[in-house]
Amino acid sequence: MAAHYDNTSPLNKAKVQPLHNESEGEPQKLQNFAFGAYLGLVVCLSWNLVAVTCLWILGGAENITLLLAIAVLVLGVPAAYASWYRTLSLAFREEDNASKFHEFLLLYLIHLAFCVFASINTPGKYLTGIQSAMDVYLDNHNLMIGIFYLIGSVLFYLEFWLSFWVMMRVQAYYRHRQGGLASVDQDLTLPSL
């Protein structure tokens, strides 16, 4: 029988594990929804860059506005991954994880505040909020760019609600593990009056 020779370098032996093997049941579902929220943020910031670029091409925005939109995309996506998405996945993997869940909830509240800030009003036109959409339409009289900004505002609004739902489910899961509730859904139901 022929011997198996491994001719790869030691640095090239990274073990790849699929995400579905990491955790099971409710944590896996929550992590999938959190990943959906992360992808939603990527979509929101990408659409934001498209809208600001269209405005810049038509001459309605200064160069600094385009650079700020690029910076928000380039810095925001890795920051979201490093701060709250990775923290949540580590919280699901560790046994004693109360500090990781608290860290996730704190950083996720910052993410929620950013989504509200981006969807409502921003000083300047580098984020596609409602106020920016009205300013773009009134200043430039360009309905198409105003609609682009309005779509961006709606995307940030939907991202907020998805993220809020994820935060509530993660908090209920954490309370379920700590408090011994029968199910996560029991913790999320409203008491009858």
pLDDT at 150: 93
Residues 149 and 191: their CA atoms lie apart, in Å, by: 40
pLDDT of residue 129: 87
pLDDT at 185: 55
Max Cα-Cα span within the chain = 78
What pLDDT, on the 0 to 100 scale, is given for residue 183? 54
User: pLDDT tens-digit profile of 119-172?
Assistant: 987 778 888 889 888 888 888 778 888 899 999 999 999 999 999 999 999 999
DSSP state of 15: P
- What's the average pLDDT block by block, 10 residues per block, for the chain (193 residues)? 51 47 72 94 95 89 90 94 91 80 92 92 83 84 88 95 94 79 53 49
**What confidence score (pLDDT) does residue 62 get?**
87
pLDDT of residue 14: 44
What pLDDT score does 34 carry? 93
DSSP code for 191: P
List the one residue out of 46, 57, 68, 72 whose CA is nearest residue 145.
57
Distances (CA, A) of 138 to 48, 130, 142, 145: 19, 12, 8, 11
